[in-house]
Structure 1
Amino acid sequence: MESLKNKVALITGGTKGIGYGVAEALLNQGLKVVITSRDEDSAKKAAKELGAKTNAAAHILGVKADVRKLESQQEAVKQTIDKFGKLDIVIANAGVGKFASIEDMTSQEWNDVIDTNLTGVFNSIKASVDELKKNKGYYITISSLAGANFFAGGAAYNASKFGVTGFTQAVMLDLRQHGVKVSTIMPGSVSTHFNGNEPSEKGDWKIQIEDLGELVVDLLKMNPRTLPSKIEVRPSMPPA
């Protein structure tokens, strides 16, 4: 996939944060991009904004899709193919964070995190696997350093991201002989609105969304014979 022009990418949770940064980077590389959100207005608004920023309004589509439901992801894949004729790349990015001690966490909070962060990745890949096998495409999942390092209050989030990391590596082995590349990116602290955070100059030490967009572009441009299957990404110099 050294040449990215005219490739088509589907990004779940692409209206803000990491997904938004990746979408902008791919549009700037000449790709056609579909971003999803559970909220249709948010998807369309972000798509319009991205199209204006990158002068690529004809190359971006925002659709409503819920990664927790396989049929919703299948519909997002269908809309992508209907609009752009094919699908080459899936960025499974959608995620939520709910943090609490096991004593305080509700079953609903647990289910929302697992269903979105882990089952959502399964649904995104399951819904598109035939198309990506046909096109010898690329899956990139967004895990987290929380998928390798546990912490108090992180029972649901750790479980979901440990799961994404392991799931992605197994899928990589399942699909590599079909010519499909599969990688997972495990970021540390990223400057986004995730979990109620407010990006500001105080967070300049954090990974920025454009940094992760650049990383995704680099992965996609790598020679097909080489696969960085698991990438840990950290801020270079966090506060002491």
Structure 2
Amino acid sequence: MDKLQDKVALITGGTKGIGFGIAECLMAEGIHVAITGRQESAALEAAEKLNSDSKTGAKAIGLEADVRNYDSQKQAVNKVLDTFGQLDIVVANAGIGHFASIEDLEPQQWQDTIDTNLTGAFYSIKASVEALKKSKGYYITISSLAGANFFANGSAYNASKFGVTGFTQAVMLDLRQYGVKVSTIMPGSVSTYFNGKTPDSSSDWKIQSEDIGELVVDLLKMNPRTLPSKIEVRPTMPPSK
């Protein structure tokens, strides 16, 4: 993108963790952001914090939206367009994880994981594709190294993230003819609130949320002739076992 000031981004699952870190980094570049969450109160609280910390004039709004519901995603996109008049960047970040042996994994846990992580990414681009074609924008999914490396007790999560990785690459081929760039970021261990965890000093060795945010900014600033379509990132030095 030629300039980032006053561009507009929609980030799903942006109330904390990676999504919130991305929002902070985008606003530092002057990009307006809309963050979504399943609870309106959490989305509004996070947006208020982002606005209080903003030093570039960029604004944040918080929206209640459920990525598992297409109409909910469409309403969020329409709200962004009504508020800011455009949509340039969509980051499909919302995600959950259920980890258990296939013997113990419940059907509803499987469905929740696929619906949120994979179908949610589909609904995010389906709801915003016309707006991104108009702005020649950027669609970014947050996959995982679990989208390329399987592990025990990870059948639901692996399936969802393998799906996100492949889905995003196919969408990239579909949309580049319209000038829309598409990338997936595949992080390893990140210090977040994912799966009920609370970040603390014991997680300092992990990737931090703002590191993913900086990577998103780097992608947006990339020369438009070059497209990093799939990016793997991992901690530089994990602790010794």
2:35 aligned residue? 35
1:146 aligned residue? 146
1:106 aligned residue? 106
Aligned counterparts of 1:171 and 1:38: Cα–Cα separation in 2: 26
Are 2:73 and 1:70 equivalent residues in the alignment? no
The residue type paired with residue 161 of structure 1 is K
Report the CA distance between 1:57 and its aligned residue.
7.4
1:24 aligned residue? 24
Q: Percent identity, aligned pairs only?
A: 70
SS at match of 1:10: strand
Are 2:62 and 1:54 equivalent residues in the alignment? no
1:191 aligned residue? 191
Aligned counterparts of 1:100 and 1:57: Cα–Cα separation in 2: 45
SS at match of 2:112: helix
The residue type paired with residue 170 of structure 1 is A
Contact 2:31 2:58 in 1 (8 A): no
SS at match of 2:168: helix
> Structure 1, residues 119-172: CA drift from partner, whole Å, max 9, x if none?
000000000001101110000000000000000000000000000000000000
Q: TM-score, normalised by structure 1?
A: 0.98
Q: TM-score, normalised by structure 2?
A: 0.98
> Structure 1, residues 93-138: CA drift from partner, whole Å, max 9, x if none?
0000110111001111000000000000000000000110111000
Aligned counterparts of 1:215 and 1:6: Cα–Cα separation in 2: 19
Report the CA distance between 1:56 and its aligned residue.
6.0
1:169 aligned residue? 169
Mark the CA change 1:169 to 1:42 in structure 2 (over 3 Å): closer, same or farther: same
Are 2:221 and 1:237 equivalent residues in the alignment? no
The residue type paired with residue 21 of structure 2 is G
1:84 aligned residue? 84
> Structure 1, residues 10-55: CA drift from partner, whole Å, max 9, x if none?
0000000000000000011000100000100000000001111224
SS at match of 2:217: helix
SS at match of 1:128: helix
2:8 aligned residue? 8
Stretches of 4+ aligned residues off by more than 3 angstroms: 55-58
Report the CA distance between 1:198 and its aligned residue.
1.8
Mark the CA change 1:57 to 1:51 in structure 2 (over 3 Å): closer, same or farther: farther
Aligned counterparts of 1:59 and 1:164: Cα–Cα separation in 2: 29
Aligned counterparts of 1:238 and 1:53: Cα–Cα separation in 2: 31
Structure 1: gaps of 5 or more residues: none
Structure 2: gaps of 5 or more residues: none
> Structure 1, residues 65-110: CA drift from partner, whole Å, max 9, x if none?
0000110000000000000001010000000011011100111100
Aligned counterparts of 1:65 and 1:193: Cα–Cα separation in 2: 19
1:210 aligned residue? 210
SS at match of 1:185: strand
Report the CA distance between 1:197 and its aligned residue.
1.6
The residue type paired with residue 61 of structure 1 is I
Contact 1:32 1:60 in 2 (8 A): yes
The residue type paired with residue 195 of structure 1 is N
The residue type paired with residue 4 of structure 2 is L
Aligned counterparts of 1:57 and 1:16: Cα–Cα separation in 2: 21
